[in-house]
Amino acid sequence: MKLIADIGTNPELIKIDVTDILLHHFLKHYDDIGVTEFILHGNNEVINTIKPTYSSRYNIKFIPICSEKFYEYKNRDWSMHNTLKDTKRLKEYQHPPPNPNTCPLWIIQNDLKKQYITENELCFILDLDEFVELSSTELKLIESSEIQFCKGVLRDRIGGSNGNLATLNKQVDIFEQLNKTVDITKGLAKRATQKVIITRGHLEHCHGHHDVYNKADLSKKKWTSVLNIDHCKYFKQNIECGLGPHGRKEQAYFNDLYDK
């Protein structure tokens, strides 16, 4: 199965050292369970820095998206929303109102499916901090099924001691470093923790890949169980950089929790 992921496409949210550490663990995890090709899209700066380290170790297709192209996608997000609104079709689609902080990664990824995924193929759509709890045998069962999509639920992981978040490294297994299961995201970000993690062919997912885009597709056949996703987001370097739509909230949360 192929896998599509963002490694830093938004030029306003680039943190290469965080990307590098997560990508190290991410590629190993999914290579171990049987992913055959990684389709990674990102800003030119990120790709040029990351590519030499990983291109010889894994089967990766790097998709550079320059800043100008990224902002074209942001404009397309607005245009798609306004078209649905003007034609009174917003209720048919899960398209949240765009705002200056909206990141149209889902539109980019739906385009990439049309370019690199055949109509009959299943593929993962994931963030770098999402590690699906799945064995290679279970993945083969999913691949041999007739499902159209599969869902997972986030299970936050955290590590550290003495009131400090863990500083993530490449040397130790990520689950040993983030060795505690907690529930932070749902309350902190006030968003759904279920996500669409596998789709077939060109089936479109929506913003944040929390669901399918066209509500009519919700009735299509999905995997019988909801898989666990270890959400490996809460470590020192990631929280300190304060990036993303919830970055400041996360910083405030941990500053208050640990009274730093």
pLDDT in tens, 25-66: 999 999 999 999 999 999 999 999 999 999 999 999 999 999
Q: How many angstroms separate the CA atoms of 232 and 178, rounded? A: 7
Is the pLDDT assigned to residue 255 strictly greater than 90? no
Domains of the chain (ranges; CATH) run 2-258 (3.90.550)
The HSE-up count of residue 260 (CA atoms within 13 Å, CB side) is 13
Task: Write down the pTM of the prediction.
Answer: 0.93
Tens digit of pLDDT for each residue in 96-109? Answer: 888 877 789 999 99
Written as one string, the DSSP assignment of 113-178 is: HHHHS-TT-EEEEE-TTEEE---HHHHHHHHTS--SEEEEEEEEEE-EETTEE----SSS-HHHHS
pLDDT grade for 243, boundaries at 50, 70 and 90:
low
Res 260: pLDDT: 45
More confidently predicted of 12 and 175:
175
With a CB cutoff of 8 Å and minimum separation 6, the contacts of 84 are 90, 92, 93, 95
Query: pLDDT exceeding 90 applies to what percent of the chain?
Result: 74
Burial class (CB in 10 A: 0-12, 13-18, 19+), 183: exposed
